[in-house]
Structure 1
């Protein structure tokens, strides 16, 4: 028996949206799932477990469940207006409901290890996990920091990523998506887009109308060919544009602590040429790199122009430096004596 899919008119009247924005057009959701081609990764979904974070009105959740019929589908939601709606609408449904805050790390350990509401298997990192999928709505502007934490966990293999390379379908403010997808040498390139490039293969699947969309790199839009959604298909309409990202974690063997040190220090000086910025890695770094890079033309680049491969290359050289500084002492003591 299929789950009920409530229309826009009913869902848009929910008491509170808590600063989050949701797509509420069933036809558009179906178009999005057509584009995602999830069957290529998960087959018939008969053994797939899905964790659905901040589902809110849960229209997408019902459509997803009706279409794919996963083995387990857990909605993680604790906001009163949404939780009440979910419990009233989906009593005795195929959903598991876990009324804890997805922001809290303890939610995941309790749900998986303590209460065993959802128990994903550990898979090899040689491929995308084909029995575990995460869906999330982080469309509140204050949720950007949470996604950055998740992105770090993708790189380190922590959180739900300890079970393997778990694909994530994440709705975010378009302003955040623009930051994450900024390309080398273009406006907006920062540490978060470097992390996105290093740790994931991320694709822009869809976005809603809004002025923020103009900030996407045009070449990226041509490559990803995202679906454009009318703002009238979302609620609350007054909030800014949102975007859907398909986040596929990469298998990587990056020396993360050294990579983090190198990228952080160089990007602080991203408006200076690399020949100048390198000295921020430690006294004598400029001379050391000059003697060890294969192509010194890289020194004419600005850090914001460097690709993921170039950052990894520079990190490897830094790691081999006999006189590199102790990266674990990377702080400035503002209270130190000056005499």
Structure 2
């Protein structure tokens, strides 16, 4: 039996949207699912479990379930107006409701480890986990820090990423998507885009048509070829846009402690050439790295121009430095450069 798919006019009657925004056009949702081609990873979905975080009115959940019929689809939602609506609409359906706060770490340990209401398969890092998919909506601007925490969890392979390389489909404000997807050398390049590039393959799948689309580099935007839909398909309507990211974790082999120290120290001086900024890694850093770096052209680059591969290279050199500082006594704010407070 198919789940009812309510339209925007009905769903707009939910009193509070809590500063979040949701695409509420079934036609666009289906176009997005076409573009994602999830069957390539999950086959017929009969063994796949979906965990949906901040689902809100859950129009997308009904569309997804009707189309793929996964083994389990769980909605994690605790905002009163949304949860009351979901309970009325879906309590006797195939969608399962978990009245928990997706912001809290304990929500996941309770759901998975203690209550065992949602227990994903753990898979090796040789492929994307083909039995576990996470979807989420983090379009409230105040949740930008949570977006970065989730990317950090991908690098650390904890939280939901302890089950392998778990694909995530995440709606975020358009400026956050632009910041995450910033390429080396762009003005928007920061720690968060280096994290994204190092630990994931992330694609811009869709976004609403606002002036914020101009925040992406024109050539790169054309290469990503996202679905662009009217902002009037989003509720609650504002002049700010939302974007959908497909996040695929990679099987990285990065030494996280040294990498984190190097990237955050260098990116504070992201416009200063390496030959002048390497002392930020520790006293004598300039002399050591000038001696060790074989490609002297690299020294002319600023940290904001470095690729993820180049950051990893510098991190390995740092690890080999006999006189490197104690990285565990470091108190530099990881978000000092990005301004994510």
Moved over 4 A (4+): none
Match of 2:327 in 1: 327
CA deviations over 1:233-279 (Å, ceiling 9, x no partner): 11011251000000000111100000000000100011211101111
Match of 2:212 in 1: 212
Match of 2:90 in 1: 90
Match of 1:191 in 2: 191
RMSD value, Cα: 0.9
> Following the alignment from structure 2 to structure 1, what is the Cα–Cα distance between the partners of residues 157 and 209?
34
How far is 1:198 from its partner? 0.4
Match of 1:8 in 2: 8
Match of 1:57 in 2: 57
> Following the alignment from structure 1 to structure 2, what is the Cα–Cα distance between the partners of residues 207 and 279?
41
Match of 2:118 in 1: 118
CA deviations over 1:36-68 (Å, ceiling 9, x no partner): 000000000000000000000100000000001
Match of 1:335 in 2: none
> Following the alignment from structure 1 to structure 2, what is the Cα–Cα distance between the partners of residues 175 and 270?
20
> Following the alignment from structure 1 to structure 2, what is the Cα–Cα distance between the partners of residues 231 and 215?
16
Aligned partners of 1:21 and 1:239 also within 8 Å:
no
Q: Secondary structure at the match of 2:171?
A: strand
Aligned partners of 1:136 and 1:169 also within 8 Å:
yes
Q: Secondary structure at the match of 2:120?
A: coil
Written as runs of structure 1 = structure 2, the 5 A alignment for 1:163-178 is: 163-178=163-178
> Following the alignment from structure 1 to structure 2, what is the Cα–Cα distance between the partners of residues 167 and 249?
7
> Following the alignment from structure 1 to structure 2, what is the Cα–Cα distance between the partners of residues 84 and 240?
27
> Following the alignment from structure 1 to structure 2, what is the Cα–Cα distance between the partners of residues 104 and 196?
22
Aligned partners of 1:21 and 1:234 also within 8 Å:
yes
Q: Secondary structure at the match of 1:4?
A: coil
> Following the alignment from structure 1 to structure 2, what is the Cα–Cα distance between the partners of residues 211 and 279?
40
Match of 2:295 in 1: 295
How far is 1:322 from its partner? 0.8
Q: Secondary structure at the match of 1:260?
A: helix
Tell whether 2:242 aligns with 1:242: yes
Match of 1:179 in 2: 179
CA deviations over 1:283-318 (Å, ceiling 9, x no partner): 111111111111011111110000000000111111
Match of 2:146 in 1: 146
Match of 1:39 in 2: 39
> Following the alignment from structure 1 to structure 2, what is the Cα–Cα distance between the partners of residues 189 and 56?
31
Match of 1:336 in 2: none
> Following the alignment from structure 2 to structure 1, what is the Cα–Cα distance between the partners of residues 63 and 239?
24
Q: Structure 2: 5+ residue runs without aligned partners?
A: 333-341
Tell whether 2:279 aligns with 1:282: no
> Following the alignment from structure 1 to structure 2, what is the Cα–Cα distance between the partners of residues 34 and 121?
25
> Following the alignment from structure 1 to structure 2, what is the Cα–Cα distance between the partners of residues 129 and 239?
37
Q: Structure 1: 5+ residue runs without aligned partners?
A: 333-339
Tell whether 2:254 aligns with 1:254: yes
How far is 1:187 from its partner? 1.4
Match of 2:226 in 1: 226
> Following the alignment from structure 1 to structure 2, what is the Cα–Cα distance between the partners of residues 51 and 147?
16
Written as runs of structure 1 = structure 2, the 5 A alignment for 1:66-85 is: 66-85=66-85
Aligned partners of 2:207 and 2:227 also within 8 Å:
yes
CA deviations over 1:164-215 (Å, ceiling 9, x no partner): 0000000000011111000000110000000000010000000002222111
Match of 1:28 in 2: 28
Normalization by structure 2: what TM-score? 0.96
Aligned partners of 1:21 and 1:140 also within 8 Å:
yes
**Count, aligned residues:** 332
Match of 1:337 in 2: none
> Following the alignment from structure 1 to structure 2, what is the Cα–Cα distance between the partners of residues 263 and 59?
40
> Following the alignment from structure 1 to structure 2, what is the Cα–Cα distance between the partners of residues 219 and 162?
35
